[in-house]
Chain A
Amino acid sequence: MPLPARRTLPTLALALIPRAVALNLALGAVVGALKLPVYLDSVGTILVAVLAGPWAGVITGIVSNSVLGLLVSPALFAFIPVAIVIGWLAGIAGRAGAFASLAGAIAAGLVIGVAAALASAVIVIALMGGLTASGTGILTIAIRATLGVSVDSAAKIAAIATDALDKPLSCVLVYLVLERLPRRLSARFRRATA
């Protein structure tokens, strides 16, 4: 079958993305039932990225945060770049075969977690005056923000621990699910988006 001149998402990936977005929001119910100190709000994004590639992951991240922005608060629009980073990195990790093993999935989760934390820090700083500050200014505020937050507030330490646990755990879940998808289906995704 010849490839279309302009690459677009096949219907299968297209139909998966809304469910992945909904998953990002619905896993909260599971986390709540188990009272686990994590969010698991990017599992859908990571899953699509691994199944259908970085591009699909990026789109899922954008749609997911846009929907959150529409449903919860427009402040979340500002964090669309974080979701993009997560989707893109997960797609790259998937292409590199990181999700073929548990250790690889955990490693991917750590990298994604660090990158996501950095991306959100940059956004927070930019919104809180970094736009007008000079380059070194941004840096000092960044250091202040991380140090100040983690040293001064026990609650924030818990939040940072949560962040560190969240993405690796999300990636482990994705790994477990990929292992358990009907082979027929995962093959279809690979073929459709190769």
Chain B
Amino acid sequence: MTSALDRWNPLTPLAAAVAMVLAAFAGPQPYAPVLVLAVALLVAIASGIGFKVTALTALVVLPAFALLVLLAAAFPDAATAQRQWVPSRAAVLDALAVSLRLGAAIAALGVVVVGVAPRRLTRALAARGLPAWAAYLVIASLEAVPDARRRADDVIDAQRCRGVPVGKGTGMRGRLRALPALAGPLIVGLVTESEERALALDARAFDPRASRTALAPIADPSAERWARRVIWLALAAVIAWRLREFAQSLTIT
């Protein structure tokens, strides 16, 4: 999976996304989240991943909004203590503000998660000091997932051939009893396999603490390094401004 974002060093979109998330929460409300959401979705559309990122965002925003409105309706302000099944306008606006903040965060991170290959991202982090063992854990896990899914299917088939019933026609008790017969070989098999995998790592001179080089290092042009510095500075400015405002609000009360 490649997208337009793969032209960048993965750390640049990552830095931008993290900054946008923090800005959405720390920046002036409700403008900051709206701006972040809009920018994230525009970038997503421009990179050809607009649909996926929008779907991810909607999947979080809509249920969150619905839940908050429902809660507000069911439990109105403690002051009135009167259950009224229609939420107040203020409550709806409040729910909208919270959902927007969440949506902004999901959209910003979604651009990175969908648009940057996870393996590339991990390698870029490894080049900047993520320890070899941590990089291994992420990359090998991504690799192990499809393997384990296939193994699970194989185990299910093998055990069905030995008479373990699955699917319709078996009661809850029967299905619970079948669980160890299906999950057991899968788990035992994966644990046993880790012994072989460990041996393979050792045989390839892997040292969890040593630094590794790369066949094809990910380019990190100086323009991008400067861009990231600017992002961090801007973010620091927003947070400082926000902290000052917070301190002022404390002295007033």
Contacts and interface: CB of A to CB of B under 8 A. Distances in A.
Contacts of B109: 74, 77
A59 B184 CA distance: 23
Contact of B148 (A9, A22, A69): A22
Contact of A9 (B94, B112, B133, B190): B133
B198 interface: yes
Interface in B44-72: 56, 59-60, 64, 67-68, 70-71
Nearest 8 pairs of A and B residues by beta carbon:
A22-B148, A74-B109, A26-B148, A18-B140, A22-B144, A15-B198, A16-B194, A15-B197
Interface stretch (A80-88, A95-103, A110-118, A140-148): A140-148
B122 to A, nearest CB: 9
Interface string B156-199: 10000000001100000001101110111011101111110110
B220 interface: no
Interface stretch (B31-39, B202-210, B211-219, B225-233): B202-210
B184 A21 contact: no
Interface string A136-156: 000011001100100010000
Q: Secondary structure of the A side of the interface?
A: helix
Interface of B: 25, 56, 59-60, 64, 67-68, 70-71, 74-75, 78, 94, 98, 102, 105-106, 109-110, 112-113, 118, 133, 136-138, 140-145, 147-149, 151-153, 155-156, 166-167, 175-176, 178-180, 182-184, 186-188, 190-195, 197-198, 201-202, 206, 208-209
A71 interface: yes
Given A30-B152, A129-B94, A22 B141 contact: yes
Given A43-B183, A180-B184, A20 B176 contact: no
Interface string A117-128: 000000000011
Interface in A132-180: 140-141, 144-145, 148, 152, 169, 173, 176-177, 180
B186 A173 contact: no
A165 to B, nearest CB: 10
Given A25-B149, A74-B113, A30 B186 contact: yes
Interface of A: 6, 8-9, 11-12, 14-23, 25-27, 29-30, 33-36, 40, 43, 47, 51, 59, 63-64, 66-67, 69-71, 73-75, 77, 127-129, 131, 140-141, 144-145, 148, 152, 169, 173, 176-177, 180-182, 185, 188
B167 A177 contact: no
